[in-house]
Amino acid sequence: MGMVTVLGSYNLGVTYAVEALPVWGQTLLSRHGFFSHGGKGSNQAVAAARFGATVRFVGAIGQDAAGISAREMLVREGIDVSQLIVVPDYPTGIATIFLDDHGHNAIVVNPGANAQLQADTISQDQRSWPQHAVLLAQLEIPLDTVKTAFAQYNGIRILNPAPADSSYAQESWDWVDILTPNETEARILCGLAPDDPIDSVALLQLLSDRTHGKTVVLTLGAEGVLIWHQGQDMRIPAISVETVDTTGAGDVFNGILAAELAHGEPLPKAANKACLGASLSVTRRGVISAIPSVDEVARILDGRNQN
């Protein structure tokens, strides 16, 4: 069984369903709202575990009801939480999500305890992490913490650079093996403005150049995935689905990708399965509740192979 260590965030998700996303100065009444487990790290850890990986989650929660609930959920999913630390003076992270009628969302995150996950806190525990496996991280925790952990790791190092910051355009990324941005994040990493004219293939090549040929997996939503690997680019199409909620689709993709690579699958095959899983996830509300089963993805793959 493949082993994945996920270094990242847990956030309590608070979702509000609205007809359209609010604009500055506007007050909206939500048709309904709900609480859910979230955070990029936690979401990705659950997706990896459901796709058969042995998962360890390294993160931080507050000493509060949300933190207790987070730990209980991760344990139910079969995830090792021995290095999920409790930060007494900070609340568990919270993500507020506005979800419109088209399945599009806007998200604001208060990191809370996540911001206290410092490099010196995890450096001693890192000796027990399984090496020569997969380490997956995101950037809802301090960048220095991620860099320190990656520098000391001997397996496959996957970074989902989300949320991206303009300062990251100066980063070398020489401590990463695989970068998995979406199109917006890739533009930020390349120092481009949102409206700078560039197509997705050129963006992929530009980011690869800026990262000195690193493997880049560029997620494009309904358009699928573009990959730059070992000097070649390839496209993996998404399946056509009716979108209900896009929240966390990237997390589902990254978790499945990490699990499949940990199982020893080649990158194109792993990315194809991850793309299918992410596509299916947007047909349902929520994130963890929307993660498809291994069997669902396998049925689609079998159908493709028979055609």
The list of the chain residues with pLDDT below 70 reads 1, 123-126, 128, 130-131, 304-307
Tokens of 196: 């700078």
pLDDT score of 246: 80
pLDDT score of 307: 56
Handedness of CA 260, 265, 130, 54 (dihedral sign): positive
List, as residue ranges, the binding site for K(+): 245, 247, 281, 284, 286
What is the rounded CA–CA span in Å between residue 89 and residue 115? Answer: 12
pLDDT score of 124: 67
Provide φ and ψ at 105, rounded to 5°.
Answer: -140, 160
- Residues 239-242: contacts with CB under 8 Å, at least 24 apart: 239/276, 239/279, 239/280, 239/300, 241/279, 241/280, 241/282, 241/283, 242/283
What is the rounded CA–CA span in Å between residue 13 and residue 113? Answer: 15
Q: Which residue carries 């992410």 as its tokens?
A: 278
pLDDT score of 130: 67
Structure pTM?
0.90
What is the rounded CA–CA span in Å between residue 29 and residue 231? Answer: 50
pLDDT score of 289: 87
pLDDT score of 297: 87
Which one-letter amino acid corresponds to residue 264? Answer: G
Tokens of 98: 């506005």
Catalytic residue flag (residue 251): yes
Catalytic residue among 101, 251, 295, 302: 251
- For the chain, list the domains and their CATH numbers: 3-22+31-306 (3.40.1190.20)
| Cα dist from 250 to 51, 66, 89, 271, 307, whole Å | 15, 23, 31, 12, 28
List, as residue ranges, the binding site: 39-43, 140, 182, 219-224, 245, 247, 250-251, 281, 284, 286
List, as residue ranges, the binding site for substrate: 39-43, 140, 251
